[in-house]
Structure 1
């Protein structure tokens, strides 16, 4: 199984680009902060996770302002054939601020 879910604030975005086939691609980073219990002790967790969104989700991510709170679900994969660095490929993104008016974008199928 390869499914990952994290919440945080959108802290970085690259300009929207397109594949040679015309598919939109958005790259961003989510900043996560939480307190977790590990071995019976409280641990502060602070990290940034790279995101990659394709298709309609790329447009949503590109339009989101920096600093907005989001919850992202997707799968982890290597950045490229030459890089083993992990990237979270976005399958679902939920905008948490203004949730009563917010929207969830999910992978179809």
Structure 2
């Protein structure tokens, strides 16, 4: 049985997108998505704030580069993965399979 790893998150682009190319020639578009909402938990309202790095890979990265600016509202569908920064600190990254402007 394959374990599920799916996330859908809406929010706005909060840092300018950055397009890079891997040594293998694969394009990667990276940007930060901010989400704010009010959620219900155990009968109580709770403010929710999420800031996450999003990565779009391949041809879609090039297509979205000129579409995204700070403030663009998006719904991102994809999967979570863990990366380590230069200092060895781990963080979650949302690898986008689909982006929809909202």
Alignment TM class, shorter chain as reference = 0.7 to 0.9
**Cα-to-partner distance string for 1:52-87 (whole Å, 9 max, x where unaligned):** 111122124422111010000000011149553110
Which of 10, 15, 23 is the matching residue for 2:26? 23
Secondary structure of 2:62's aligned partner: helix
What's the counterpart of residue 93 of structure 2?
A: 87
- Deviation of 1:47 after TM superposition, in Å, equals 2.0
What's the counterpart of residue 77 of structure 2?
A: 73
What's the counterpart of residue 55 of structure 1?
A: 58
Give the gaps of 5 or more residues in structure 2: none
Give the gaps of 5 or more residues in structure 1: 97-109
Distance 1:13 1:59 in 2: 14
| TM-score for the superposition, normalised by structure 2 | 0.84
Distance 1:60 1:83 in 2: 31
Q: Which moved more, 1:83-92 or 1:33-42?
A: 83-92
Number of residue pairs matched? 96
Secondary structure of 2:70's aligned partner: coil
Distance 1:36 1:45 in 2: 7
| TM-score for the superposition, normalised by structure 1 | 0.79
